Amino acid sequence: MSRQIAGIISDLERILLDATTIQERVIAMAQEIQRDYADKELQVVCLMDGALFFMADLLRHINLPIRLHTLSVSSYDGGTQSSGTVQMPEKLLFDLSGKHVLLIDDILDSGLTLITVQERLRVECNPASLRTAILLDKQRPRSFDVSIEYIGFEIEDAFVVGYGMDYQGHYRHLPCIGVLNPNHFPQI
Ligand code: IMP
Ligand code: MG
């Protein structure tokens, strides 16, 4: 690990998932998805920016025809709590009608983002099938009943960064996932 990354990692109170653990699980998820979609073309919709690193690693281990689409969504406004509304483009520019769609996101927190996007994709795009893959499932009470077919890890209810997930745009490039040190970030 470079000295620069090691310095940034010291902003973490603790590491929840190291890089090797993440990579092993992502490969296992890719193998499961490849088995489930054998002989099919997969239309991937990746929620940006948080799922960028997870998607990139996952898809490179799936040996199937894939078309990749991205959708920019935000609900956190750079902070550590959902704003309660999901911002996304007014018009979806991809044609998913009659196709097999895999929606990819980084983390399930309140569930608002995924339930909102799943509903829009079903209503506006009419896919043949829609499944969802996430890396992290935060263990917390939630009022939305979101169906997720592929889950990487269940984690405690804490604000995490790394491997795509950010705090005010920082830390996305960390190869591991951890909890920020509250002494550095008293507002968390
Ligand atoms: P939800 O709509 O409350 O489920 O939040 C989901 C979105 O918020 C995810 O797609 C992430 O981008 C972001 N998010 C939720 N929890 C965290 C976290 O602990 N760290 C960084 N981003 C998070
Ligand atoms: Mg996200």
Asked if the structure places residue 83 within a domain, the reply is yes
Write the CATH number for 144: 3.40.50.2020
CA of 76 to the centre of ligand 1 (A): 7
Q: pLDDT tens digits for 108-117?
A: 999 999 999 9
Asked if the structure places residue 184 within a domain, the reply is no
Asked if the structure places residue 182 within a domain, the reply is no
Asked if the structure places residue 60 within a domain, the reply is yes
Total number of domains in the chain: 1
| CB proximity list for 62: less than 8 A, separation 6 or greater | 30, 33, 34, 42
State the catalytic residue, choosing from 109, 137, 157, 166: 109
Q: What is the pTM of this model?
A: 0.94
Q: pLDDT tens digits for 128-171?
A: 999 999 999 999 999 888 999 999 999 999 999 999 999 989 99
Asked if the structure places residue 180 within a domain, the reply is no
**Mean pLDDT taken over the chain:** 92
Asked if the structure places residue 183 within a domain, the reply is no
Residue 71 near ligand 1, beta carbon < 6 Å:
no
Tokens of 29: 């998820």
Contact present, 139 and 156 (Cβ < 8 Å)? yes
At residue 3, the pLDDT reads 62
Asked if the structure places residue 6 within a domain, the reply is no
Asked if the structure places residue 8 within a domain, the reply is no
Residue whose Cα lies nearest atom 5 of ligand 1: it is 109
Q: Is 77 a catalytic residue?
A: no
% of residues, the chain, pLDDT over 70:
93
What interhelical angle do 19-36 and 52-59 show, nearest 10? 60
Supply the range of the domain harboring residue 125: 19-155
Question: Taking residues 26-32, what's their average pLDDT?
Answer: 98
